[in-house]
């Protein structure tokens, strides 16, 4: 009386099924979206790391320059 039902699979309806293309399931679409989002996330991480590297590089150069000028000023002050 109760026959087992096949599992339901969400399908994206594509009317023009040219060249024997397969219809994409919801799982396929979600996996593709996850890959695209992951790739974009990795690019953003590298861009952020590059920006931080430039920022710290400029800050360290400024700090080195300030220390260099203060040493030079101190040396000039020691000379009578």
- Residue 2 region, left (φ>0) first, then alpha (ψ -120 to 50), else beta? beta
Enter the DSSP assignment of 1. Answer: -
Contact 26, 14 (CB under 8 A): no
> CA nearest 23: which of 15, 32, 31?
15
Instruction: Supply the pLDDT for residue 68.
Output: 54
Measuring CA to CA, which residue among 69, 71, 51, 48 is closest to residue 59? 51
Q: What is the pLDDT of residues 66-80, one digit of tens each?
A: 555 565 666 665 555
pLDDT of res. 31 = 95
In tens, the pLDDT along 1-60 reads 577 777 766 665 655 556 666 788 999 999 999 999 999 999 999 999 999 999 888 877
How far apart are alpha carbons 21 and 38 in whole angstroms?
A: 26
Tokens of 13: 């309806």
pLDDT of residue 52: 92
């Amino acid at each position: 009386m109760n026959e087992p039902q096949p599992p339901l699979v969400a399908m994206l309806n594509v009317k023009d099924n040219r060249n024997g293309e397969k219809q994409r399931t919801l799982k396929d679409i979600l996996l593709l979206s996850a890959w695209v989002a992951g790739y974009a996330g990795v690019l953003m991480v590298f861009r952020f790391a590059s920006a931080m590297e430039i920022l710290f590089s400029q800050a360290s150069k400024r700090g080195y320059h300030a220390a260099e000028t203060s040493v030079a000023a101190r040396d000039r002050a020691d000379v009578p």
